[in-house]
Chain A
Amino acid sequence: MSEPLVLKLQVKPLDFLAAGETAAHFKETLKSLGLPPDICRKAAIVVYEAEMNMVIHGGGGVMCLQVEEDKVTIISKDEGPGIENLELAMKEGYSSAPDFIRELGFGAGMGLPNIKKNSDELHIDTAPRKGTKLRAVIYLDKRR
């Protein structure tokens, strides 16, 4: 694999039925490339959590998967309201999700901490009214 494989998909806002399709598609792609199951699983969790955030908070956005020889990079970009207090949002249990999302089993304030737990590097650029860009990297050789 010399050239990195890049996939980009649009994520629709508040479409709870379609939410998770991007993560499922990316996971299938990683599996078909023969990546180890634990890497596929970690990447799927990161994409799914980021996708749910985009669906719930971000007003939709673009999800990008980049696969290179030594790493998988996931980039999510939305033009939503941004994260008011990133430090708080990284704490387990802190959530600003509306009640109808909680009734569906999400919005418990575990998303960003779980993304952090499943990635080797995580960068988040966000500001109120300026959207959020998240970049998570999973290294293939970290599993050894």
Chain B
Amino acid sequence: MMKMSEIEALLKARRLFDTFALEKEVEYVLASDLMSDVLAFALAASLLITGLTNIQIVRTATMLDMTGIVFVRNKHPLEEAATLARKLDIPVLLCKKSMFETCGLLYQAGLKPCTICCEESD
């Protein structure tokens, strides 16, 4: 388990805005640029890592009760996405690292993946 604020420090990321929600903890992570897959596989209270910046990223995270969003590859959420994140008080971190490195650091720190359940196997 890691607090969003601890993730911010580990990734040398920057918070988009201050919120007490940065003290919330996450245990599971889903990293994807495909919101269709996020909707299918993300656990509640997990962390979303993405490089997409449109408003539907924030919508997707909130529909799924996810704890926070990390934008990787130095991407900044579009204005309407940032506004919605503030309104819904979902913590957003801006990270300059690649998705691979971001995931690697968080995995090393003990965070776990959301299970990908397939139709025909597992």
Binding site for B on A (CB under 8 A): 16-17, 19-20, 23-24, 27, 37-38, 41, 44-45, 48-49, 92, 104-111, 113-114, 117
Contact = CB atoms under 8 A, between A and B. Distances in A.
29 contacts: A16-B54, A16-B55, A17-B80, A19-B59, A20-B59, A20-B60, A23-B59, A23-B63, A24-B62, A41-B44, A41-B65, A44-B63, A44-B64, A45-B39, A45-B64, A48-B39, A49-B39, A92-B119, A105-B36, A105-B38, A105-B50, A105-B56, A105-B57, A106-B35, A106-B36, A109-B36, A110-B37, A113-B119, A117-B40
B56 A114 contact: no
B89 to A, nearest CB: 14
A113 B41 CA distance: 12
Interface of B: 33-40, 44, 50, 52, 54-57, 59-60, 62-65, 80, 119
A7 to B, nearest CB: 17
A37 B50 CA distance: 25
Q: Is the interface of B mostly helix, strand, loop or mixed?
A: helix
Contact of A37 (B38, B39, B44, B52): B44
A124 B73 CA distance: 40
B55 to A, nearest CB: 6
Contacts of A108: 34, 36-37
10 shortest interchain CB distances as A-B pairs: A108-B36, A20-B59, A105-B35, A110-B36, A44-B63, A110-B40, A114-B40, A105-B52, A48-B63, A108-B34
Given A23-B59, A113-B119, A104 B52 contact: yes
A105 B60 CA distance: 10
A8 to B, nearest CB: 20
Given A24-B62, A41-B63, A19 B40 contact: no
